Amino acid sequence: MSAMHEPNAQQIIDEKLYRQMGMTDEEFDRAVNMLGRHPNYTETGLFSAMWSEHCSYKSSKPVLRKFPTEGARVLQGPGEGAGIVDIGDNQAVVFKMESHNSPSAIEPFIGAATGAGGVLRDVFSMGARPVALVNSLRFGDLTDARDRYLFEEAVAGIASYGNTIGIPTVAGEVQFDNCYSKRPLVNAMAVGLLNHEDIQKGIASGVGNSIIYAGATTGRDGIHGATMSSAEVSVEKEGELPVMQAGDPFLEKLLMEACLELVKSDALIGIQDMGAAGLTSSAAEMASKAGYGVEMNLNLVPQREEGMTAYEMMLSESQERMLIVVKKGREQEVIDLFSSYTINAVVVGRVTDDKMLRLLHKGEVVAEVSADALAEDSPVYDKKSEEPAYFKEFQAAEMTEPVVDDLHATLKELLQRPTIASKEWIYNQFDTQARSNTVIAPGSSAGVIRVSGTTKGLAMTADCNSRFVYLDPETGGKIAVAEAARNLICSGAEPIAVTDCLNFGSADKPEVFWQFEKSAEGISEACLKLNAPVISGNVSLSNEVDGVPVYPTPTIGMVGIVHDLSHVTTTEFKNAGDVLYVIGEASLDFGGSELQQMTEGKISGRAPVIDLDVEAVRQKELLTAIQTGIVQSATDLSEGGLAVALCEKAFGAKGLGAGVTVSGSPVTALFSETQSRFLVSVKEGDAEAFEKTVTDAIKIGVVTESDSIVINGDEGTLIDGTVTELHAAWKGAIQCLLNSEG
């Protein structure tokens, strides 16, 4: 659409054109009031993008305010590109998680790839060098061809971006459930490191300072991506295909190196990546945060296509672009710096004192809007919240044990469930060791990288069992945080902070909003209890297919410090003869369990109970034991319970087995998903010390030299299988499903 054909202010009102851009009548009126006149087409576009859920958090803000965001280590909480946490020695860790669900539903390879690219820019725009990637994925159960395609392509997309730019993926998670069929969730998390003095912010201050645009050219791709990602995607009516914003990891690598050099320069005032809502959000937010204005001449914006309008340029979501504010008079040295990396950088405007975002194009002022109105004064909604009927019903249901006739066959079948099966198929496609700092690659509880030049490490993980969140959002929210912390603890790390990606259905549905609120409450409580404040995050609403919301999926990304790399601990058994302990007893917890889903084809009942006090004590004691050096291997019990965890420990490279004895009902003892439990192996000589340190440890058996997993119950043998057979079933399951037809 060329400028000539652009509707005028009156047509926008008469034909309610703002609705096509995702604005409600009330929101448009609000914009008119703030502006004191009727907005033109470009201005309407600015408002609609900035007031989309994705940019403004208008529905989620009131809920997000509940998160604990402060702590002794926190240097930067939510509000910037990424959060920052002190790790000592003048260094800090920077991290953030982002969703790329909508684009990934349409074109999974590009959607997932640009997700990784975007979150990396969030991290290096803070001045930090990205050191690791983590991801969290949700797909249908792979019985449908479209879901298999989405899964394969999304993984390949993440791999392509991360591998090409040379940043290792060290952890991740994936859950398969048909509530995500055709509506996958693709969340990417990036972790970076910086020295305190290099911390940057996205601000545009100092009248007369210059605005520099650096990176890729602006095209017509991804226009209205921000509004799109806040709406349900109806997949593909031909001819209506949106233009995808493809990623260029090669360019991003150059841009990253240039930006990391630039942060050392005192010419730099502020820097921000052009993410959702592109040039609009970066310019408005940088001005608003600093309390200044920004004037840009759009003629100067590097354009990929001919005849682009102001509207198109401002709303494009072309990838690999940064907006930078530099001191007046220092422009050329910054441009030269970029040019030494073959990156195009040009001055496109200047900082003003009038707090306006003013845009010039072809010699005319094409937009003039208060930066605060766009970035700060978006509407905030107190959405209606209502407890769904299913919740009461499930809470009242009687707890039952799923019916199982053959324990061994059930264990084997569980090991082949894609959610439990080996994730090698995924992480073998990632360069997990690039940059030579990966101490634990994917395959154990958390990924660990060393902080070079120190004896410290950083552990990271992403977790969320959305079935529990669905059955009981508050409890499920707590469990997500607790599980992430358990994975760090088991790796020898002390949790320090959280990023999140809150993936939900439409917030206009009171039941969905209730899930959102309740899970946020659970997350908050657990973060407080476990000492891990929320420092960054992302909200993705409207994840629905045909009006049915996905399970509420508030993914938790957590980072911990390994105070000394000698504490690093992994899942797999280390030596025959080691004593096996389970921490915590099993109870009747099958609501939302993998076994329930497998045997009944659906989930119901109550989510497992979690007592955060017990959780905190057990985590602390186990970490102490690990730090004392008396733990050989550790893992938490999650999907599939004790039997599955035991197998995973035996599936290591050492070829060891186990013999254990459990008591009580066999199905509960083997498969219950009771919370706050761990499985740990300890050298015989350290058994006494371990029992002293970890109060709730129960000795259940030993690690054996043999190729067998034997689990005895009160009345004889429950499981007696070979490691070889079980391992093969677990290892090949995802590939097997992908080979299936239909």
Partner 1 sequence: MKFAILVFPGAGCDVDLFHAVKNVLGYEAEYVWHTESGLERFDAVLIPTGATYGDYLRPGALAKSSQIIDSLKAFANSGKPVLGVGNGFQILAEIGLLPGAFLRNKGLKFRSGNTKIVVDNTNTQFTADYQKGQELTIPFAHEFGNYYVDEDTVAELKQTDRIVFTYADGNSDGSTASIAGVVNEQGNVLGMMPLPERAVEEIIGGTDGLPLFNSILKNWSENNVCHA
Partner 2 sequence: MTKVNVHVTLRESVVDPQGIATKEALQTMGYNEVENVRIGKLIELELTGSASEIDARVKEMCDKLLVNKVIEDYRYEIGEVAGK
Active-site residues, by number, are: 54, 100
Alpha-carbon gap, residue 407 to 514, rounded angstroms? 38
Site string for partner 2, 201-240 (x = CB under 8 A): ---------------x--xxx--------------x-x--
The half-sphere exposure of 608 on its side-chain side, counting CA atoms within 13 A, is 34
- Regarding 445 and contact with ligand ADP (CB under 6 A), the answer is yes
Closest CB 116 distance from ligand ADP, rounded Å = 11
Task: Check binding of 281 to ligand ADP (CB under 6 A).
Answer: no
- In the numeric block, the tokens 């969340």 are attached to 187
Q: Which of 3, 246, 609, 702 binds partner 2 (CB under 8 A)?
A: 246
Question: Quick one: 341 or 381, whose CB is closer to partner 1?
Answer: 341
- Under rule CB under 6 A, residue 499 binds ligand ADP: no
Tally Cβ neighbours within 10 Å of residue 72: 9
- Residue showing the smallest CB distance to Mg ion in the complex: 445
Is 537 annotated as contributing to ligand binding?
A: yes
Tokens of 379: 């509407």
Nearer to partner 2 among residue 247 and residue 349 (C-beta): 247
The reply to whether 251 sits near partner 2 by the rule CB under 8 A is yes
Q: Could you tell me which of 303, 322, 314, 391 has the C-alpha nearest to residue 44?
A: 314
d(CA 684, CA 682): 6
Q: Output 106 or 565, the one with its CB closest to partner 2.
A: 106
CB 553 within 8 A of CB 503: yes
Among 210, 318, 352, 531, binds partner 2 (CB under 8 A): 318
DSSP code, position 638: -
Counting every residue written for the chain, the total comes to 742
Dihedral sign for Cα 288, 252, 90, 462, please: positive
| Straight-line distance from the first to the last Cα atom of the chain, in angstroms, rounded to the nearest whole number | 42
Q: Which of residues 70-129 bind partner 2 (CB under 8 A)?
A: 106-107, 110
Question: Site mask, partner 1, residues 556-585, x = CB under 8 A?
Answer: ---------x--------------------
Residues in touch with Mg ion (CB under 5 A): 445, 487, 636
Question: How far, in Å, are 467, 470, 480, 565, 733 from residue 179 at the CA level?
Answer: 10, 11, 18, 40, 21
Interface size with partner 2, residues (CB under 8 A): 25
What are 313's two structure tokens?
Answer: 């340029």
Quick one: DSSP state of residue 577? T
Q: Does 437 interact with partner 1 (rule: CB under 8 A)?
A: yes
Place of tokens 């997700």: 115
**Using the rule CB under 6 A, is 638 a contact of ligand ADP?**
yes
Residue closer to partner 1, measured from CB, 113 or 729: 113
Instruction: Tell me the Cα Rg of the chain.
Output: 26
Binder to ligand ADP among 139, 180, 427, 690 (CB under 6 A)? 427
Distance in Å, CB of 273 to partner 2, minimum: 17
Q: Which of 342, 406, 716, 739 binds partner 1 (CB under 8 A)?
A: 342
Sort strands 169-176 and 129-139 into parallel, antiparallel or unpaired. parallel
Question: Does 348 help bind partner 1 (rule: CB under 8 A)?
Answer: no
In the complex with partner 1, the residue whose CB is nearer, 9 or 260, is: 260
The answer to whether residue 429 forms part of the interface with partner 1 (CB under 8 A) is: yes
Q: Quick check: 321 and 228 in contact, CB under 8 A? A: no
Q: What is the 3-state secondary structure (H, E, C) of 417-464?
A: CCCCCCCHHHHCCCCCCHHHCEEECECECCEEEECCCCCCEEEEEEEC
Closer of 221 and 295 to partner 2 (Cβ): 221
- Residue 452 lies near partner 1 (rule: CB under 8 A): yes
Asked if 146 interacts with partner 1 (CB under 8 A), we say no
Q: Quick one: which of 289, 249, 293 has its CA closest to 271?
A: 289
Nearest to 375 by CA among 287, 269, 275: 287
**Helices 723-739 + 641-650 axis angle, to 10:** 100
Residue 317 in the binding site for partner 2 (CB under 8 A): no
- Enumerate binding residues for partner 2 (CB under 8 A): 106-107, 110, 216, 219-221, 236, 238, 241, 243-251, 304-305, 318-319, 342, 741
Binding residues for ATP: 57, 96, 500, 537
Q: Provide the annotated binding site for substrate.
A: 121, 245, 317-319, 540
Sites of contact with ligand ADP (CB under 6 A): 135, 137, 169, 171-174, 423, 426-427, 442-445, 447, 463, 487, 638
Q: Which residues bind partner 1 (CB under 8 A)?
A: 156, 159-160, 163-167, 248-251, 253-254, 341-342, 428-439, 450, 452, 565
